[in-house]
Structure 1
Amino acid sequence: MPSTRTKILAALAAAPLVIGLSACASGAGADGGDDVVRIGVVGKSDPQWPAFEEAAAEAGIEIELVDFADYAQPNPALTEGELDLNQFQHIVYLADYNVSADEDLTPIGSTQIYPLGLYSTKYESVDDIEEGETVAIPDDPSNLARALLVLQSAGLIELEDGGSIFSTVADIDEAKSKVKVTPLEASLTATSLPDVAAAVINNDFVEDAGLSFEDAIAKDDPTDPNALPYVNIFAARADDADDETYLKLVEIFQTDPEVQAGLDEASAGTGVSVEIPVADLEASLADVEDDTRAQG
């Protein structure tokens, strides 16, 4: 299956990321005592990962994928040295973690950007949702704000001052909104569908809930030039940002055809592969961290 590979130009990327490294670069694993690179993910069964393991092995790099059940775990595990890298989050999520935990995890490469979708088992369109119904959204701050923006774009709520990546449920103008909003842990929004009118569900949990990406009744636009903070990334500890083995793994992930085909399959063609210069990722992270601190 061909990849939907594309580059978001203008504000998203001035030039493709180019990494010229030896295929046989070697680095220490998280315990410092072996050459196995431990990578934290959410959704190890996704089809891109077997292809990535094989491509890495062909380049002389042994990796171990460590699967996590929810988004709250991979960053602390990376901070504590239980992992070498993780790949599950966008820049906004990483910024929120770094500020709240006073850490300095850093992006070392971009992967994809995914639209965030609204799903329902009761209604076939947003227009059918009745006044006063309840919609579930992820409760982690970064995805919560993005979910609120999706609901606003769909005409279900109105946010004071138009909303931002820092919007909370407190910013909902209830008098001008059609639905009520209930934040839930991200993995639970899908299972809440029988009890709510609709739910914003992160891509990692859509197919696990027996849904397809085409079932979304509303979603945001991943090609919006303002979407850079929502680009998914490989993250490392700051001291490891220039590790040649880790950067080689990013290059493999971005360029291997089978990995890209797996990504396309995993997102049913909804994910957009991007190669953003690391300097742009770092700058975006710094900006969002500064804004996050200002919000506090």
Structure 2
Amino acid sequence: MSDQTPLVAPPKKRGRLYALIALAVVVVVALVVGISLAVSSGNAPEETAAGDNAITEGKGSPGDPIVVGVVGASDPHWDAYTEAAAEAGISIEIVDFTDYAQPNPALTEGDLDLNQFQHIIYLAQYNESAGEDVAPIGATAIYPLSLYSSKFTSVDDIPAGETVAVPSDASNLARGLLVLQSAGLIELADGGSPFSTLDDVLPSSKVKVISLEAALTPTSLPDVAAAIINNDFVIDAGLTFDDAIATDDPADESAQPYINIFAARAEDKDDKTLLELVDIFQNTKTVTDALLETSGGTAVLVTTPIAELEESLATVQDAYAAQ
């Protein structure tokens, strides 16, 4: 300021000023002693503790867990995974969803840090239809997609004209139709593809096909001859994987687009903690053993490199865009 205020008090007020200075010195000394005692006794002041937490805590810490969205949180491999992550010093929270339509929007809206429920074809279809760029950051397994029936023990026993249900989401619908075709129940236009729809079912097919939400195909069994049921819903429906009367081959090279993946927002795809969680899932025996047990031994575990997952996603997504 241009108008300097005198720094020395007028003579008649110096006594009071000295008293105030002396009091201030006493207070400062007391504070210094108090802080020293607190630190030496292990009880740092609250402000110092908050500062320390700000440095040491981050994503994956007990106060800020990594939130992972799944369909089927009761599957035992998720408990094994949570424990394995905790042993590595990473706190995770598993959030369960009842159907496949929910986890991707929850991820893009920031309610999740990761999700693990979908294969590459499903993600490609979501990204293309929603205008999003959710990214695969690690592979888990390929699961077979199978046909079940509460009325017939063989596809050969299903009479002509009966109705069969398939999941309604585009990727699993097409895959389900291919299973039905390989089982001799339907014929698809041009031999079928990962993009086949109900419109591609030819009139010469043995059975009629309807589509239902994936979570509802198990409950449709009393009303249809058979239904394609995703692995996530088999056990909850009171079935076993051995009950399947037809299935596809997850070990076939053409099954690569059906690799299940961990997915993250594009801006987080190189996050070290998230990538470490993928590594924990792939390389922890208690996790993979539980996953195989959950799938009835049907899952094929894969550790496909991220670059290959990204390439497969781009290829499938371009094909969807061209439809």
- By the TM > 0.5 criterion, same fold? yes
For residues 28 and 286 of structure 1, what CA distance do their matches in structure 2 show?
Answer: 29
For residues 221 and 239 of structure 1, what CA distance do their matches in structure 2 show?
Answer: 34
C-alpha displacement of 1:35: 3.1
User: Could you tell me which of 268, 272, 286 is aligned with 1:258?
Assistant: 286
Query: 1:233: which partner in 2?
Result: 261
Whether contact under 8 Å (1:56, 1:249) holds in the other structure is yes
Q: Name the aligned partner's letter for residue 116 of structure 2.
A: Q
Q: Secondary structure at the match of 2:104?
A: helix
Query: 1:195: which partner in 2?
Result: 223
Which runs of structure 1 show a deviation greater than 6 angstroms over 4 or more consecutive aligned residues?
none
Q: Does 1:290 align with 2:322?
A: no
Whether contact under 8 Å (1:27, 1:244) holds in the other structure is no
Whether contact under 8 Å (1:26, 1:245) holds in the other structure is no
Query: 2:108: which partner in 1?
Result: 79
- Superposition pairs of residues 9-24 of structure 1, within 5 angstroms: none
For residues 84 and 57 of structure 2, what CA distance do their matches in structure 1 show?
Answer: 15
Q: Name the aligned partner's letter for residue 244 of structure 2.
A: A
For residues 312 and 171 of structure 2, what CA distance do their matches in structure 1 show?
Answer: 14
Query: 1:42: which partner in 2?
Result: 71
Query: 1:111: which partner in 2?
Result: 140
Larger Rg over CA atoms: 2
Query: 2:97: which partner in 1?
Result: 68
- Superposition pairs of residues 70-149 of structure 1, within 5 angstroms: 70-149=99-178
For residues 218 and 33 of structure 1, what CA distance do their matches in structure 2 show?
Answer: 45
Q: Does 1:28 align with 2:28?
A: no
User: Could you tell me which of 306, 309, 313 is aligned with 1:281?
Assistant: 309
TM normalised by structure 2 equals: 0.81
User: Could you tell me which of 171, 183, 186 is aligned with 1:154?
Assistant: 183
Q: Name the aligned partner's letter for residue 256 of structure 1.
A: T
Query: 2:39: which partner in 1?
Result: none
Call closer, same or farther: CA 1:50–1:182 in 2, change over 3 Å.
same
Call closer, same or farther: CA 1:97–1:47 in 2, change over 3 Å.
same
Whether contact under 8 Å (2:57, 2:63) holds in the other structure is no
Where in structure 1 are there 5+ consecutive unaligned residues?
1-24
TM normalised by structure 1 equals: 0.89
Q: Does 1:54 align with 2:91?
A: no
For residues 168 and 79 of structure 2, what CA distance do their matches in structure 1 show?
Answer: 31
| CA RMSD of superposed structures (Å) | 1.5
Q: Does 1:247 align with 2:278?
A: no
C-alpha displacement of 1:167: 0.1
For residues 175 and 308 of structure 2, what CA distance do their matches in structure 1 show?
Answer: 21
Query: 1:271: which partner in 2?
Result: 299
Query: 1:178: which partner in 2?
Result: 206
Call closer, same or farther: CA 1:33–1:45 in 2, change over 3 Å.
closer
C-alpha displacement of 1:28: 2.8
Call closer, same or farther: CA 1:160–1:26 in 2, change over 3 Å.
farther
Determine which structure has greater relative contact order: mean sequence separation of CA pairs < 8 Å that are 6+ residues apart, divided by chain length: 1
